[in-house]
Structures are given as structure tokens and as C-alpha cells.
Structure 1
Amino acid sequence: MLFQNNYLPNSVVAYAQDYEHGKFEPYHAHNCAQLIHTLSGVIRVETRLGSWVIPPNRGMWIPAGIEHSLYMTGLVKVRTLFIDPLARADLPHDCSVIDVSMLLKALIIEALELPKEIVSGGRDERIIELILDELRRLSSVSFYVPLPSLCCFGFFV
């Protein structure tokens, strides 16, 4: 898994991954925030707090340090952003499925081509800054199912 123990070379790093139907990523966490964007297929994301479904052309925001697992249905094409949690103070603090704007989608694709060394004041830095600005505008959609608690059934843990 990427960015579990090492740190990002930039405040935003893009990554592309394709999965076959039925693939599974076991529980893991990243030391940075993650925006998972699906181009095709469906991903079910499990955390200790609940379960989310990411349909095609949507995304999911996962804050830094949140353990999660991924279950793939269909041919899943994922484009992911890994974001330094200190890049912006006002980034979301909770997991949520989000709408991905056409602009953000284009920026994610563009970010896949960015070099590891970003020149200050150049186009590449402006792309990263615009991505961070777009992440502030994320709007959640309801694809979340909370996990039941034993206390709901008369048991106390």
C-alpha cells in the first residue's frame, strides 16, 4: 500500500490503478488523506465506523490514518489523489462519498502526469493548488451505511 510509512514528495500525488472483479485490498491506513475516484466499476469501502459504496464517476474522501479495506465489483478503474493532511486546514475530517466535478476529474487526470519535483510558481504548482481549492468544495452524497452496535440489541459492550 502506498504512503503507509513514507511521506508524499508533494502536497498532492496522483495514482492510477485498475482492478479485476472480486479483488480485495485488506485493512490498511495511509499517513495522508485519500480521494478515491472511480471511472468504472464499484468499490465498497469498509472502516470500523461503517461501509460506503463508490459507484462510477463518484469519489470517496478518506482522512489520514483511517483504516479501510476495499472490495471491487466489476472492472474497477481508480484514480486516486493522496493529499498531505497539512496542505489545507479546512479539508474534510470525516469519510464521505462525494460528487467529483468535471474540473476535479480533469485535474486528477492532469496530476497523473506531474513530475515528482514541482517547480515553485510554475504550472504544476498551480494545478496542485487548484486541486486543493476544489477539495474544499466537495459535496457529499449518501452512500454510507453505519455498522450496527451491540448496544442497539440490548447488549452493552
Structure 2
Amino acid sequence: MRNTPILDAMILCMQDVLKKEGSGLYMSAFFKNIDEIPFINREDGMAVKDSTTVNECGSAACVLGWCILDPRVRMVSGTNVPQDLWKALEAEIGEVAADSIVAPFANFRKKRANWLPATSHSMALLQHNHVNSESSINDALDYLVVMKAHIGEANERV
């Protein structure tokens, strides 16, 4: 099975977030004013403003936002910059898989999930709430866990 220390740390982080925060806290709660939330380019899902900000999308399922705050994730990824964490995750599990996890908008996550290699988990990933809606923390965590299984199976086939 492929070694995925960043993805593993992200799963642990999201488990902790779910225990501590429940599924309703949105990343935008970290900002005093709506104007402080970075502008997002809705075409490609990338933050146009400061790439060092914690918030990337404002949704409850902001995996990148939550994980960049986690010391375990920072340690294994070697960064405290959200965009660099995204790049490190892409290097670890592939661009398509990483984008389907952390892209800020469901439509972009879904587009990327459509390009995942076929495994017994493919349909579950394509039908998952995380890529079909602005989902909850619980949905995001479940998607990470299914993705971990998908990556393991895809690597066994290679």
C-alpha cells in the first residue's frame, strides 16, 4: 500500500475537528468581517488574494483551511501555507485526487473526481456529497477515508 503521511494526518485532523466542532462551524467564522474572506476565482477554485490565509472557501468542509492549522499536518507536509499544502498533497496522492479533496467548490471537486482511475470505490467517490454539494465536515472526513481506500486499491493495480 502507498505511503500517504499527509493524507493520513489530514484524516486525523478532520476527525479531531469533527469531535471538537461538530459539523456546523464554517471557516468564515474565523473572520470578523465578510470583507476579510479572500476572493476566490470561481473558475479554477484558487484563492486570488493572500495565499497564506487560513480560509480557502468558507465552507464547513474546508479541508485545506482546517488542516493547515493542525501541527501534525504541518509537520508531515513541511509547510504552514495552504497553497503549499495543496501542492504537497498533489505530489503525494496525485493532482486529480488532491483537487477532488481540497478544491473550494463542489463543482470543481466533481470535475476532478471524474478523472480518478477506476476502482471499486470510484462510484462512491463520484456520488459523494463532498463533490456534489457544499458538504459538512462529516462528509469531507468520509470522503478522505474513501479516497484513502481508493488510492490503496489503485496502487495495487499498478
TM-score (norm 1): 0.27
Structure that is richer in strand per residue? 1
Structure that is richer in helix per residue? 2
TM-score (norm 2): 0.27
Larger Rg: 1
